[in-house]
Amino acid sequence: MPVALVTGGSAGLGRALTRSLAEDGWRVVVDGRDPQRLASVADHPNVVAVRGDLVDEWHRGALCAAVDREGRLDLLVHNASTLGPTPLGRLDQAATEDLLDVWRTNLAAPHALTSDLLPALVAARGVLVSVSSDAAVEHYPTWGLYGASKAALDHLTLTFGEENPDLAAYAVDPGDMRTQMHQDAFPGEDISDRPLPESVVPRLRALIAARPPSGRYRAADVDVPALETVGA
């Protein structure tokens, strides 16, 4: 049985991907900070939920211990992230501590967790996925802290891939989605026209199954019929 770890798996794209993998026979270790949301995804027998915050070293240790108990790791998905202070503001108004808070969650924690789990992931010839954003390559007013952290995460992810040839490493821009994070970025606005995270999962699953060369991909550009090969 393949094993995945999906951070931030209690909401949004992480939750949708977790449910898809679990229903397809994967064992999925997930984490989240909100106990109620985490419980809502942990009701599946193939889901192992670990409550906590990725910036905490002890929590990352608990995730690694959960993976160790499963005996392997085929897929690591960095989905957990933070926008930083909301409403979003200009870069010249951001405090250094705001920058550090965003980078602790969006960059330092994924780097540390990947480093800890790298031996297991490489041993399984696994897949590393970091959920990116168009803000990593475009320059939107007020999105500077978040965009910079995602650009740096893209770089780290693909460097892990270069340094470990047996690993497939992908930075994936899922596009706009109807999630709480997206709503937080646009307070008071109607985001009902954005697609649900569930609509992105087939494209993400297709990318993982097809295993193209490591690189940065837009979910919208992934060939969905490749999903027919999913099942590993």
Active site residues: 146
Whether residue 9 contacts residue 17, with contact meaning beta carbons closer than 8 Å, is answered with: yes
Closest CA to 114 of 165, 60, 62, 69: 60
